[in-house]
């Protein structure tokens, strides 16, 4: 498994990580018990994965609980990133006075006494402009050895610009995949400053597996897509298949594309099953040639850049 240094801690992480949103998630007809989640995470670790992304609100706290149970004997061999701002009860509340209580809750569920990193979970723009005291609190937690680093999770290049201009972060979690390449403009700057990059939503919420079509309907968070969003994604998948001459799974191309950028520290596709995990492990070994990567960049510039897809 290929690894990269994580933040400036001297720790390394696997370039394929685990996106913890599905762990323990039983909403909208999904099923995953604590035991199933624990065994999935242990299998990921056995296969060489050492980076795990989670948040207090994922599966109402069960994602962190699963990671805590699965990793308790091997805590110092892995890196855990969690978040602040979205709480286990479903509330979204970024008040800085809540940071310590939230961290304590995460530590308890994760069965640990430190967090490798904590990031603000899509915070309001005032926070990204450093007009609040959040980062003073994070710095205090770092001095106390409770966290090793901190950062932000953002979606758009404008938000990432705000963070780069105003904050001194160790890590960012960003939206980046073949269909959403806009954050690529900041890769050089992030790399120059030694800021680790965690890539979220690398499969465009499943579309870049190639398994969905415009006739699929979604009841979960993806129900926000309009009929025209679905049609557009359907057509883009068809175009991508033509470009890649690929009738089967697009996952090796999707994960290989993200990992082809040296600036990317780790990519965190969501997993529900061991079969998905195995496919991602296989995909993470895909070598994308410079020419193929250029074709995928051109694909984005020609078909998507002027009208970015809603996440």
Ligand X SMILES: NC(=O)c1ccc[n+]([C@@H]2O[C@H](COP(=O)([O-])OP(=O)(O)OC[C@H]3O[C@@H](n4cnc5c(N)ncnc54)[C@H](OP(=O)(O)O)[C@@H]3O)[C@@H](O)[C@H]2O)c1
Footprint of ligand X (CB under 6 A): 19-22, 53, 121-122, 153, 173, 200-206, 209, 211, 251, 268-272, 276, 279
Shortest approach of ligand X to residue 143 CB, angstroms?
A: 25
Quick one: tokens of 303? 């078909």
Burial of 184-215, coded b for 16+ CB within 10 Å and e otherwise, reads bebbeebbeeebbbbbbbbbbbbbbbbebebe
Q: Which residues contact 159 (CB under 8 A, 6 or more apart)?
A: 125, 128, 152
Quick check: 72 and 111 in contact, CB under 8 A? yes
Shortest approach of ligand X to residue 270 CB, angstroms?
A: 2
- DSSP-derived secondary structure letter, 286: P
Shortest approach of ligand X to residue 199 CB, angstroms?
A: 8
Kindly tell me which of 144 and 230 has the beta carbon lying closer to ligand X. 230
Kindly tell me which of 185 and 221 has the beta carbon lying closer to ligand X. 221
Shortest approach of ligand X to residue 218 CB, angstroms?
A: 9
For residue 160, which of 138, 137, 193 has the smallest C-alpha distance? 193
Kindly tell me which of 159 and 173 has the beta carbon lying closer to ligand X. 173
Q: Which residues contact 10 (CB under 8 A, 6 or more apart)?
A: none
Kindly tell me which of 10 and 241 has the beta carbon lying closer to ligand X. 241
- With both helix axes pointing from N to C terminus, report the angle between 290-303 and 227-244 in degrees, rounded to the nearest 10: 150
Kindly tell me which of 190 and 251 has the beta carbon lying closer to ligand X. 251
Shortest approach of ligand X to residue 158 CB, angstroms?
A: 16
Cα separation of 180 and 310, whole Å? 9
Shortest approach of ligand X to residue 266 CB, angstroms?
A: 11
Shortest approach of ligand X to residue 176 CB, angstroms?
A: 10
Kindly tell me which of 72 and 211 has the beta carbon lying closer to ligand X. 211
Kindly tell me which of 68 and 290 has the beta carbon lying closer to ligand X. 68
Please report the beta strands in the chain, taking only residues with DSSP state E, as ranges in sequence order. Answer: 3-6, 11-14, 18-19, 51-53, 79-84, 117-121, 150-154, 171-175, 196-200, 266-267
> In angstroms, how far is CA 233 from the centroid of its own chain?
21
Kindly tell me which of 58 and 299 has the beta carbon lying closer to ligand X. 58
Cα separation of 165 and 110, whole Å? 32
Shortest approach of ligand X to residue 57 CB, angstroms?
A: 10
């Amino acid at each position: 498994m290929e690894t990269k240094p994580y933040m400036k801690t001297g720790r390394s992480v696997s370039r394929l990580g685990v996106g913890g949103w599905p762990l323990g998630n039983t909403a909208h007809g999904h099923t995953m018990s604590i035991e199933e989640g624990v065994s999935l995470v242990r299998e990921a670790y056995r296969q060489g994965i050492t980076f795990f992304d989670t948040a207090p609100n994922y599966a109402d706290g069960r994602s962190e609980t699963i990671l805590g149970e699965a990793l308790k004997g091997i805590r110092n061999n892995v890196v855990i990133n969690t978040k602040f701002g979205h709480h286990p009860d479903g509330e979204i509340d970024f008040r800085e006075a809540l940071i310590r209580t939230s961290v304590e809750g995460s530590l308890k569920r994760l069965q640990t006494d430190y967090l490798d990193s904590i990031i603000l979970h899509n915070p309001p723009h005032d926070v990204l402009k450093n007009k609040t005291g959040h980062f003073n609190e994070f710095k205090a937690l770092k001095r106390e050895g409770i966290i090793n680093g901190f950062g932000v999770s953002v979606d758009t290049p404008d938000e990432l610009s705000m963070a780069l201009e105003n904050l001194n972060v160790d890590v960012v979690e960003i939206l980046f995949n073949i269909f959403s390449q806009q954050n690529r403009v900041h890769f050089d700057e992030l790399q120059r400053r030694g800021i680790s990059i965690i890539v979220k939503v690398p499969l465009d919420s499943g579309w870049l597996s190639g398994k969905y079509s415009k006739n699929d309907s979604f009841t979960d968070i993806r129900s926000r897509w309009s009929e025209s969003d679905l049609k557009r994604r359907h057509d883009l998948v068809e175009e991508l298949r033509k470009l890649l001459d690929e009738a089967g799974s697009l996952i090796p191309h999707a994960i290989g594309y993200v990992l082809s950028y040296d600036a990317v520290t780790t990519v965190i596709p969501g997993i529900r099953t061991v079969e998905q995990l195995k496919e991602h492990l296989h995909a993470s070994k895909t070598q994308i040639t410079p020419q193929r990567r250029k074709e995928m960049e051109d694909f984005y510039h020609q078909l998507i850049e002027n009208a970015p897809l809603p996440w």
